[in-house]
Amino acid sequence: MRVTREQAAANREKILELAGTLFRERGFDGIGVADIMKRAGLTHGGFYGHFASKDDLAAEITARVLGKEGWPERLTGRANPSFGDVVRAYLTPRHRDDPGTGCLFAALGSDVVRQPRRVRHAFTEGLRARVETLRTLLPGRSAAARREKALARPWRPPSRGPETTMKNGRVPGDDPQVGGGARSVVPGGPSNSRRIGFNASAQI
């Protein structure tokens, strides 16, 4: 039976949504194409009508998740959230306990260094965009000062292995221009984020 364009587009969207959840739950290398397609209720061979490879899928998902605009508003439920609003909403048990729909940086930050360049590039561009968004929420006398604060890393993403990614705000092996300090800008400092119990995820 021939698949219509509309159905093909719906199938592609289903693969993207499901794989985005599974990658964040299990890691890029924790699940294969066959299992993704089985979960989607589609044939294994049908995957290659939508994507050239699993790496192609991973790169598109990374760009898709991190490229969504308006994430501070969705995260906080506020029309004009402050930086403090974003941090408080990010550091909640509800977000921590649902990595599949949560923060891609926290869920996959330790995996991305082992991925192909196109995946790392999508991750770096997503990080750059998020930093710019955070910069607009921060006080500071200059754009450079606000950017430095936005790049500060008051919490660490959980590691599936040695913590080698997100160090100084950049992905090893990719764009060295995305970097910055590690000063704490979370209200209450790093100890506050640990007290809240941040671990793995948030809608960011």
Find the distance separating the first CA and the last CA of the chain, reported in whole Å: 40
CA angle 111, 117, 120 (to 5 degrees): 45
Average pLDDT, the chain: 79
Contact 46, 10 (CB under 8 A): no
* Residue 204 burial (10 A CB sphere; 0-12, 13-18, 19+): buried
Gap between the Cα atoms of 39 and 61, Å rounded: 17
Q: Would you call 83 helix, strand, or coil by DSSP?
A: helix
Two tokens, residue 134? 């955070």
pLDDT tens-digit profile, the chain (204 residues): 688 999 999 999 999 999 999 999 999 999 999 999 999 999 999 999 999 999 999 999 999 999 999 999 999 999 999 999 999 999 988 888 899 989 999 999 999 999 999 999 999 999 999 999 999 888 877 888 887 877 774 444 444 443 333 334 444 445 544 443 333 333 343 333 333 333 333 344
Number of neighbours of residue 176 by Cβ within 10 angstroms:
11
Answer whether 71's CB lies under 8 Å from 90's CB. no
Domains of the chain by residue range: 5-60, 66-196
Q: Which two tokens stand for residue 193?
A: 């984020």
Tracing tokens 């994507």 back to the chain, one arrives at: 51
Superfamily of chain region 5-60: Homeodomain-like (1.10.10.60)
Q: Tell me what pLDDT residue 152 has.
A: 72
Read off the pLDDT of residues 54-101 as tens digits, 9 standing for 90 and up. 999 999 999 999 999 999 999 999 999 999 999 999 998 888 889 998
Which pLDDT value is given to residue 3? 85
Q: Which residues contact 158 (CB under 8 A, 6 or more apart)?
A: 106, 110, 199, 200
Give the pLDDT of residue 1.
Answer: 66
